[in-house]
Structure 1
């Protein structure tokens, strides 16, 4: 099955990058491709906890996604399932946060795609989201 791996380095401590994934207001600030807005985010970041989010396209289309947390090891690692409400194919996401002396290397891996085309769609969306995450981290780190 096709797999997606994206690695980014953020100029911020890993506690902040981890919090950007596990606190609803922070996640809502960057989730979704550029031009999309997070309309709703609920998180229960503990093993067995559920998450759900809605992103809204510039045209107003709402796309809902959800999953369950399998592992939460702050601030080193998150493992959770991911599925769009439609068509609902469930994938597994693993995000690791490595401390690089004040910077953070985030490695994002998503597995379980039924096709390479679906993987490629997610790659474009996540890369765009992570560009927003970079901007969010810069703003948070300046506080």
Structure 2
């Protein structure tokens, strides 16, 4: 197994900016998705490790370590493993929880030595729209435009996986 790399590499032919409008000012990332599921179920997919392991991370990544204390002030620590076996660690604290409409947490990316190279805040807003859910992800205070672009690439794939998981699993998620 490889040690963590400092950055997630792009695959050949892929660009970090799936939608250039997603990066608003170089330090803020905003992504949206519509999901064919009630927001309670989408919120549950974000807050239960048994669901997170099925969709968290970019395409073809796994989540071999998913430690989560889901409560206000609680911490999480995840390891995303890339197809080449490199580990990408992220951790943070839940700073705001309003089920099932909003979730805010700090986002600290670690390098191979455990040093933080990305320190941001992620806000998830879920809006009920006629039995469907509009998801808005906002990640703020990136140190560089490059970090923002890297996260746009990863979050786009991650959210696509979430949409697929929730829509495929709606009957299996607790109602």
> Aligned with 2:83: secondary structure?
coil
TM-score (norm 2): 0.79
Tell me whether 1:135 sits opposite 2:135 in the alignment.
Answer: no
Q: Match of 1:82?
A: 107
Show structure 2 runs of 5+ residues with no match: 1-25
Deviations 1:33-71 (A, max 9, x none): 001111111111211100110011111111111000001
Deviation at 1:135, TM superposition (A): 1.1
Comparing both structures, which one devotes a greater share of its residues to helix?
A: 1
> Aligned with 2:159: secondary structure?
helix
Query: Which stretch shows the higher mean deviation, 60-69 or 81-90?
Result: 81-90
Moved over 4 A (4+): none
Q: Match of 1:31?
A: 56
Question: For this pair of structures, how many residues does the alignment match?
Answer: 143
State the Cα RMSD in Å: 1.1
Work out which of the residue numbers 90, 101, 105 in structure 1 matches 2:130. Answer: 101
Show structure 1 runs of 5+ residues with no match: none
TM-score (norm 1): 0.96
Q: Match of 2:41?
A: 16
If you compute each CA radius of gyration, which structure gives the higher value, 1 or 2?
2
Tell me whether 1:4 sits opposite 2:29 in the alignment.
Answer: yes
